[in-house]
Structure 1
Amino acid sequence: MEKQENNILNGIAYLCFIPYSSSSSSSTTSNNNTAENLTDNIQPKTKLNFDSQNNNNCDTTNKNTAITTDKNNDKNDYSSNNSYHWFQGIFISLPNKISYGLMGDTTESPPIPHPCCYPDKNNPPKFYNLTMIDYTTNRKTFIKYILQTGGDNISLSTDWEPDDFVLDEKIQKIKNNNPFFKFNTLSVKCNEEAVEFMKNYFPKLKPELSCIICIGNLEIEIKK
């Protein structure tokens, strides 16, 4: 019996990154931006428009204010991305334009980095565990240990170098059996632009200036 190949989905994703709550915030009582409050119904109330022939040209991107990716950006820059605690997202696979919900939460026990590879103990690499929801079947896909890099031009990937980390047997087994996931930011919305985007496409989240929206290409493996 031949082994079935897994499905590989490609498309565009809109990810809203939520920072750690500030202890000095005066609105903590009304803040619903926590992973625990997330429901399965996270589809946007406004339809996303995009060019299916060219993922780079998103109608939701304002070229005058969006922060575009910097090819010289250090992929190991963790100093500016460790403030984000979790993210909620929308993934649209192309060319069939099927919508999926995404939620990533920081891993409680991530792989331990080697000091020689990551000398800054104050800014260790960040890992997320991801849940993706297929709205048509209500099927969920779970992926662990997705590494975040790239500052505000965030990149997410399961394809990280295992030799850079101390991996116990459990983590190594999970990595070996993990579905593939890769996201690269093409543009970033921040400040007031991010707030307006959240109001339209993430209505269950409280719009905050500290959140950022990353728009980019996503590739994910769905195991059969």
Structure 2
Amino acid sequence: MSAFPKRWSVENPDVLQLYSLATPNGQKIGIMLEESGLPYEAHTVNIMNDEQFDEDYLKLNPNNKIPSIIDPNGPDGKPLQLMETGAILIYLAEKTGRFLPTDPARRLETLQWLFFQTAHIGPMLGQFGHFYKFAADKSDAYSKERFTSESRRLLGVLDQRLEGREWIMGDELTIADMAIAPWIKCIDFYEGHDVLNTAEFKHVMDYCERFYARPGVQAGAAVCAIR
């Protein structure tokens, strides 16, 4: 990619550029950037207005999703463009030396929970929200039950993991938390606590509250929010 997407003007081309919206996936990267203190410039991609289909943005993210980044100071000092939240979180953790354990076994354990989110928590809770809130009049009983029951199962997995732990990796905040917690918080937006009976998953709910009590998390969650 030879230039920044033209739709979004760049004030400081020397810092990392974030193209996002404050959805659960977008919040992951805003939170990581705020918590790590890495300088960046944020650009709101309004997916409600189909801005993710902008011709220049598609060169950055051919899957027309948010978020994406352009780092003018990437590996070996060369510009880097990157999509997919899991890849972005790993990259930012390695770049800053924060929120990803250096011990090989703990690093892999962290990555397994990061991938647990990208493969399971995000897709299942996303489908739950779609069929429960946005397409309730178009979905059948099977669709609702399928994604409700699977979302509850996954919350149970997390609840068991978090018993006796402050964070997914114990007392160490990691990119696994930055990936998982925004999707738990999104249950508020879906107005899905009653149907999921989230009170049953006390460790998960307490964990999410702890996470969003952090000033850096609150600032990061607000990045690229539409008001």
TM-score, normalised on structure 2?
0.24
Which has more strand, going by share of residues? 1
TM-score, normalised on structure 1?
0.24
